[in-house]
């Protein structure tokens, strides 16, 4: 698979090594042959205006000029993710003692997580590169997104998941007709298997392996959208959950691109990362002042963040330190409380990753690491219906009563 004279990846020009700067032609490459560092997409953007963006569809494709996709991408069958709500969270803000808080609610995407964004971009690039099968290793949300996107595109898909994944995520992947393979072990074991299979099947696009540079660019749209929805204004602080770390680093890239292109004014925000204590290798490295992220064996209810050896971990450290942010972690009990707090105050039911983000937000405020007077955006990346087990033991009916008004009044009045 490689670029031909008919291949169109928009304004993308080449791939560049994030470590040594070596350039590589556009193609299904993800590791530098010189130093084995990760590759990312480079562009010649030219002139891009707010007016051109605003005239586009209400999906991530309004930012097509900033992505490695063909000009006509919106006309090709896909799930059309993006342009999810940016919710002013006044109730949660009062509860936590922060002045100006927003929630970017990506649970509103087609398969109810931000993964629809990255998969849509990966699929568009994979088609241009000649791949015929879509595949992925996944902790759940990516499995949903790949299965749905492949069904919409009319192509075959293979999805690999840890065998202990939450049942709702298994069902909501299998329903799309994908070949769903449960693998004994954790996500890192699944990822190793996927990498081996990618080497065996030249026509399989493993979205987060051999087309990872294109896939990762999809997360930039979270940064673009947030800024546009704020009236082309950069927030002062953002809090983002960290699994592989790619989302956080690409949101940072999006903010910097908007500044460089003259689409916004001011400095890029301080960026904070959120992890669960049971899988917190990046948070641990940040607190200890290390540049290297040591792998861990995940043990947390936040399975969508349970990546013990995060590929972008070192780059998350770089972003947090460069922007004046931080990376922190919270216990599983705090994750559950974060889920309940967001649901109770804002009517948004988040999956465990969202609970991590809310709980870390609260912790950062308590510890004085986050400015309570600065405009802040937090990212909810998935729907709570995917992780019901996390809260099913702590919420439920207030009681069971006879069908009489007397029984109701007795219940609510404590009689």
- In DSSP terms, which residues pair with 356 in a beta bridge? none
| Band (20; pLDDT cuts 50, 70, 90) | very high
Answer yes or no: is pLDDT of 5 > 60. no
The domain tally of the chain equals 1
CA distance 328 to 333: 15
For residue 12, being part of any structural domain is answered with: no
DSSP string, 194-223: HHHHHHH-TTEEETTTTTHHHHHHTTHHHH
For residue 55, being part of any structural domain is answered with: no
The mean per-residue pLDDT over the stretch 257-264 comes to 98
Q: Which residues contact 11 (CB under 8 A, 6 or more apart)?
A: 43, 44, 45, 46, 65, 66
**Phi, psi at 120, each rounded to 5°:** -60, -40
The mean per-residue pLDDT over the stretch 287-292 comes to 97
pLDDT digits 0-9 by tens, 56-65: 999 999 999 9
Q: What is the CATH number of the domain that holds 308?
A: 3.40.50.1100
The mean per-residue pLDDT over the stretch 81-88 comes to 98
| pLDDT for the residue numbered 6 | 57
CA distance 149 to 141: 12
| Band (4; pLDDT cuts 50, 70, 90) | low
For residue 232, being part of any structural domain is answered with: yes
The closest alpha carbon to 67, from 253, 289, 280, belongs to 253
- Return mean pLDDT, the chain: 96
For residue 75, being part of any structural domain is answered with: no
Is-contact 382 351, C-beta < 8 A?
Answer: yes
Residues spanned by the domain of 366: 86-112+216-391
pLDDT digits 0-9 by tens, 186-215: 999 999 999 999 999 999 999 999 999 999
For residue 192, being part of any structural domain is answered with: no
CA distance 25 to 4: 11
pLDDT digits 0-9 by tens, 97-123: 999 999 999 999 999 999 999 999 999
Is-contact 225 82, C-beta < 8 A?
Answer: yes
* Torsion-angle region of 115 (φ positive above 0: left; ψ -120 to 50: alpha; else: beta): alpha
The mean per-residue pLDDT over the stretch 172-181 comes to 97
CA distance 123 to 159: 14
Residue linked to tokens 């709702």: 168
pTM (2 decimals)? 0.95
Element (H or E) spanning 102, and its range?
Answer: strand 101-105
| pLDDT for the residue numbered 208 | 93
For residue 282, being part of any structural domain is answered with: yes
pLDDT digits 0-9 by tens, 388-398: 999 999 999 99
For residue 185, being part of any structural domain is answered with: no
Torsional sign, CA 48, 53, 57, 58: positive
| pLDDT for the residue numbered 236 | 98
For residue 93, being part of any structural domain is answered with: yes
pLDDT digits 0-9 by tens, 363-373: 999 999 999 99
pLDDT digits 0-9 by tens, 291-326: 999 999 999 999 999 999 999 999 999 999 999 999
| pLDDT for the residue numbered 150 | 98
The closest alpha carbon to 78, from 38, 125, 45, 32, belongs to 125
**Phi, psi at 252, each rounded to 5°:** -60, -45
């Amino acid at each position: 698979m490689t670029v031909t004279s008919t291949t169109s990846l928009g304004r993308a020009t080449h791939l560049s090594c994030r470590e040594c700067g070596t350039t590589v032609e556009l193609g299904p490459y993800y590791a530098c042959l010189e130093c084995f560092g990760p590759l990312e997409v480079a562009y010649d953007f030219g002139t891009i205006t707010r007016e051109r963006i605003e005239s586009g569809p209400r999906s991530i494709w309004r930012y097509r000029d900033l992505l490695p996709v063909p000009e006509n991408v919106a006309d090709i069958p896909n799930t059309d993710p993006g342009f999810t709500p940016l919710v002013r969270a006044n109730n949660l803000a009062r509860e936590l003692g922060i002045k100006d808080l927003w929630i970017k609610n990506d649970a509103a995407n087609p398969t109810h997580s931000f993964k629809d964004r990255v998969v849509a971009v990966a699929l568009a690039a994979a088609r241009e590169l000649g791949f015929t099968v879509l595949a992925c290793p996944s902790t759940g949300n990516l499995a949903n997104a790949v299965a749905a996107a492949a069904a919409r595109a009319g192509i075959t898909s293979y999805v690999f998941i840890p065998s202990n994944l939450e049942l709702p995520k298994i069902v909501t992947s299998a329903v799309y007709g994908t070949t769903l393979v449960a693998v004994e072990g954790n996500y890192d074991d699944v990822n190793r298997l996927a990498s081996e299979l990618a080497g065996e099947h030249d026509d399989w696009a493993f979205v987060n392996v051999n087309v990872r540079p294109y896939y990762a660019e999809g997360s930039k749209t979270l940064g673009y959208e947030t800024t546009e929805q704020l009236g082309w204004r950069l927030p002062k602080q953002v809090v983002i959950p960290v699994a592989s770390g790619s989302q956080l680093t690409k949101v940072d890239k999006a903010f910097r691109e908007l500044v460089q292109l003259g689409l916004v004014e001011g400095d890029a925000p301080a960026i904070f990362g959120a992890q669960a204590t049971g899988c917190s290798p990046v948070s641990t490295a940040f607190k200890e002042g290390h540049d290297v992220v040591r792998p861990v064996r995940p043990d947390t209810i936040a399975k969508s963040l349970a990546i013990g050896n995060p590929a972008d971990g070192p780059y998350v450290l770089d972003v947090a330190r460069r922007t004046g942010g931080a990376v922190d972690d919270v216990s599983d009990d705090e994750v559950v409380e974060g889920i309940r707090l967001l649901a109770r105050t804002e009517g948004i039911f988040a999956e465990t990753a969202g609970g991590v983000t809310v709980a870390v937000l609260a912790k950062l405020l308590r510890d004085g690491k986050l400015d309570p007077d600065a405009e802040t955006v937090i990212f909810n990346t998935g729907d709570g219906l995917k992780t019901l087990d996390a809260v099913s033991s702590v919420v439920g009916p207030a009681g069971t009563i006879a069908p009489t008004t007397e029984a109701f009044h007795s219940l609510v009045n404590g009689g």
